[in-house]
Structure formats: structure tokens, C-alpha cells
Amino acid sequence: MNKRGKYTTLNLEEKMKVLSRIEAGRSLKSVMDEFGIIGAEKRKRTTGAKYGDVDDAVYMWYQQKRSAGVPVRGVELQAAAERFAQCFGRTDFKASTGWLFRFRNRHAIGNRKGCGEQVLSSVSENVEPFRQKLSMIIKEEKLCLAQLYSGDETDLFWKSMPENSQASRKDICLPGKKINKERLSALLCANADGTHKLKSIIIGKSKLPKSVKEDTSTLPVIYKPSKDVWFTRELFSEWFFQNFVPEVRHFQLNVLRFHEEDIRALLLLDSCPAHPSSESLTSEDGRIKCMFFPHNTSTLIQPMNQGVILSCKRLYRWKQLEESLVIFEESDDEQEKGDKGVSKIKMYNIKSAIFNWAKSWDEVKQITIANAWENLLYKKEPEYDFQGLEDGDYREILEKCGELETKLDDNRVWLNGDEEKGCLLKTKGGITKEVVQKGGETEKQTAEFKLSAVRENLDYLLDFVDATPEFQRFHFTLKEMQQEIVKKQFQSKIRSRTGSFLKPRPHDIKDSFSGPSTSGSNH
């Protein structure tokens, strides 16, 4: 240990000792005292806020709420910011999604709900030692950005709609399973320069329904069933060795053109019960490894939580709206609007959700992923690009479809609601554990369609296509479909007639056929 003026220089061995003591739970102050390190004065913000008065007021309001034990969601921070902006006369202030991310980063605020929100000063102190340790590993292993990966799980309420929409209000009144509660879990994983996005893995409650005719190997995602709709150690380990390791090897050999001896990768993950130990998540040759973020810091420095997952979800919501929303006629009354809305959303099935999620992940920009690593690697505030995906953009499409009752806050809760879910909810057994019905219920199969009704609608659609020049290119496809439906109708009629002919009919003893007497006659 060398001292130059007021600075203390540690060699590599001493640095490793510092990191090991911090990981063992020692406080930062006691470790600094032991090694004679003089701490710099803490800064309240990483970078200054454009509207400092609004920022200070919102943070003060937030601290009062948290000191009273009241959980504060992102949508509530945005609403508070807009109220304070009005008080200060900041007419050009907008509490956008990007502002929310920057505000949280400035003040080290996690984005998890009440029970998981443990982002205290002691947690923030663990961030810098982790950065230093990661930097040392990158230098020792000679890793480039393309070899550094991050993965994270998230909930996806794949059918949910904003509160106060026609379908949502109708759904509340209907018995049975609620569309807003149907959930999937997903994992997204990509490298630090955004050049390699791995195929997403989706966890559902049961095996894929019959409506998904594709072989699972041809699906745009990796689908796995789990009764709790969450990742287990077995599922994650299977994904790591069967998907992550082979995909990384293929990418580095065939895309980056690395030699076999140069193949290396480091995967950064949350400290989560669903993840096996870092020792067990290592490839056979030891070149592809895992490293865990310190507890409760993933919301601060996990790249996937710096706008990547949110971008994917917002792209998904856009595609969901395109398929699920009904453009109401002026003559429709409230009852008809609700019925049409629920009917349309219930037709939106898990197959549509899977394909829309995969397409959304494909559309997440490379620059979005690269920017998400800025905070972890360079201590820079990431730039968030949500152009076209802001709360107001969704509000516009809802209004165009006649959804005039939804409010901006309703849309924010809908867009950000499952953003605040994650592994931490699973570590607190019984706090928010979902009630799973016993008996291993399977997902309801798609309702049977009447061929006669399908044909009638096809005939109507063909008339429309023939009368509309810009849609006439679809005539041949619809005609082929119509012919197939007619064939099926004939086949079903033949089967029903054959079945009724072969079916034994009940009969009375008196109607039974009496054969000739077996007793001989006297001649």
C-alpha cells in the first residue's frame, strides 16, 4: 500500500481483499478505515436535472412518502412531477418515460413495488465496488463489448388493457378468468453493443394449446411450461447450457469470425433464487461464465432495466392494440361496445402474443441496448429514446378507436404496471404469491367455430374484396380458403351420417328378430 499525498494506491492483491470484504457484508466505511482509504464527498446526483426545482420537489415528496411507509410507483412520480411543474410555472416540462428513468438514476431509486424496494444508501455503496470488479475481469479476460452479456426476466400480462377501456369495464362484470390477469414470463438477453440478441424464452402455465400448430423448434421464441409461470433453477440451467452457450459460440465463430481459442463471454444476472450459482453456470471449457449483480442493485445498474425491457414491452403493447382494439360504429351503445371489446380481446390468443413478443424484441434498436450499458460501464446517464412509444402516443390510438374514457394515468399504469415485477417478488414467499388452482388445470382450448358461420363470413368478405380494388389481390387466397371450408363441411356431414348409421339404436325385446326354432319338428 502506497500513499501519495492524500491518495492511497492499492496493488491488485489489496484490491481483491477490499472487494472480498465488501461482498462478505462488511460496511464500506470499516473497509476504508482498514485500508486507509479516504472517501470522497458523496454527490447527490450523477448529473444535474434540467429542471432542478421540480426535481428537488419531487424527491422531497418521495422521501416523505417512503418515510411514512407508503410505496411509490413510477406513474405516481410522473403525476407528482407534473403537479410541481405547474406550481413552478414550467409549462414546457414533460414527465416522460425518459424523465422517469433519469430521475430514478439520479436518486438511486429502484422501480420495484413496496416489498422489493430496498434501495438504500448501503445498497448504492455496493455499486462502485461491483463496477471495479467487473472492470478488472474485463481486462484480465480481454473481453470486448460483444462478449459481455446481460439477461433479465420480466412478467408480461399479455392480454391486459388500460383501466376504463370498454373491454376492461365489461371484463370486470363478467364471471371467470379475467383477461387482465393472464400472465407469461419472459427472459431477454443481449450483448453490450447490441449486435447479438438471443431468442427470447417464454414461460407459460401449460403446454402450448392446439391453436399453435407449429413445431416448437420453429417458433420465434423458446417456450417452456411451468405451473407457477416463473423460471426455476432447472429451466434456467437448461436454457444456459442448451441455448445461451451454443448461440454465443455460433455468434462469435460465424459472425465475429473469432478463432476457437478466442471464444469467451460473461453473462451478468440478478441475484435471484431462480438462478443457480455462478460456479454451476459455467461452460465445460470455463470460457463462458456468469456473474451476479449485488443484491437489490439490478434496478440501478442492470442494463436490461435501463430501458431495454420497457422498449420491448411498449412495442408489444402497440402490436397488441393493433390486433385487439375494435373501431366502434357511431350507432354502437355502451353495452355493444363492451361486448365487442371483450370478444375481440378474447380472440387474441397466446400464439398472437408469442409472435408479437418475438417481433417486438427484434425491433428493439441496437442503440437502445448499447445506451443501456452506459451507467454500468462508464457511470454515464443513459440516453433513453422512446420516440413514438411515449404515453401520449398510446393515448392517441385509443382515442381514435373511441376509447375516450381512459385517462393518461390509466395508460401509464397499463404500460408500466408489469415493469415493476421481477425476481424480488418471488423471494418473499407468500407476500404476492399467486393463487394456483390445484388439479393442474390446463389452458382453455380455443372455442370450436361453426363451419357454416365461417363460410358465411368468408362469402361476405369476398363480396367486399370484389367491390374494393385495393383489396382484390387477396381474392385468390380467400377463394382457396372458401373451397377448403366447403370440403370440410362435406366431410363433417359424411362423418355424421356414417356415425349415426353405425351407432347402435335402443330397441325393445319385442322388436327383436326371432330366428327359426332350434328344436326339431316331428315328421
Residue 505 one-letter amino acid: R
pLDDT band at 136 (very low <50, low <70, confident <90, very high): very high
Write down the pLDDT at residue 333: 54
* Range with top average pLDDT, 143-147, 343-347, 440-444: 143-147
Give yes or no for residue 53 having a pLDDT over 80.
yes
Q: Are 99 and 136 part of one and the same domain?
A: no
Provide the pLDDT for residue 219: 86
CATH number for the domain harbouring residue 101: 1.10.10.60
Q: What is the pLDDT of residue 322?
A: 78
Position 321 scores a pLDDT of 81
How confident is the model over 187-197, as a mean pLDDT?
96
Residue 17 falls inside a structural domain: no
Q: Which domain holds residue 476?
A: 453-486
> Residue 323 burial (CB < 10 Å; 0-12/13-18/19+)?
middle
Asked if 460 and 364 sit in the same domain, the reply is no
Is residue 45, in this structure, part of any structural domain at all? no
- Do residues 409 and 471 both lie within one domain? no
Same domain, 478 and 385: no
pLDDT at 222: 94
Q: Which pLDDT score, from 0 to 100, does residue 180 have?
A: 60
Burial class of residue 368 (count of CB atoms within 10 Å of its CB; 0-12, 13-18, 19+) = buried
Asked whether 427 and 274 are in contact (CB, 8 A), the reply is no
Alpha-carbon distance of 366 to 521, in angstroms, equals 100
388 lies in some domain:
yes
Residue 515 has pLDDT above 70, yes or no: no
Is the pLDDT confidence value at 485 over 70?
A: yes
Across 409-420, average pLDDT: 58
Residue 378's CB is within 10 A of a number of other CB atoms, namely 10
Q: Decide if 438 is inside a domain.
A: no
Confidence check: pLDDT of 320 > 90: no
* Strand-pair category, 265-269 with 288-292: parallel
- The model's confidence at residue 173, banded by pLDDT at 50, 70 and 90, is very low
Same domain, 212 and 316: yes
| 59 falls within a domain | yes
Q: Can you tell me whether residue 224 is helix, strand or coil?
A: strand
Asked whether residue 21 is domain-assigned, the answer is no
pTM (2 decimals)? Answer: 0.60
Does 260 lie in the same domain as 236? Answer: yes
Averaged pLDDT for residues 142-162: 90
Answer yes or no: do 230 and 310 share one domain. yes
Residue 172 in any domain: the answer is no
- Confidence band for 495, pLDDT divided at 50, 70 and 90: low
Asked whether residue 195 falls in the same domain as residue 287, the answer is yes
Does 477 reside within a domain?
yes
**Domain count along the chain:** 3
Asked if 228 and 376 sit in the same domain, the reply is: yes
Residues 230 and 135 in one domain: yes
Highest mean pLDDT among 163-167, 260-264, 462-466: 260-264
Out of 365, 389, 416, pick the residue that ends a domain: 416
User: 85-89, 97-101, 164-168, 460-464 — which is least confidently predicted?
Assistant: 164-168
Average pLDDT in the chain: 74
* CATH number, position 185: 3.30.420.10
* pLDDT score at 251: 97
Q: 361 and 303 in one domain?
A: yes
410 and 460 co-located in one domain: no
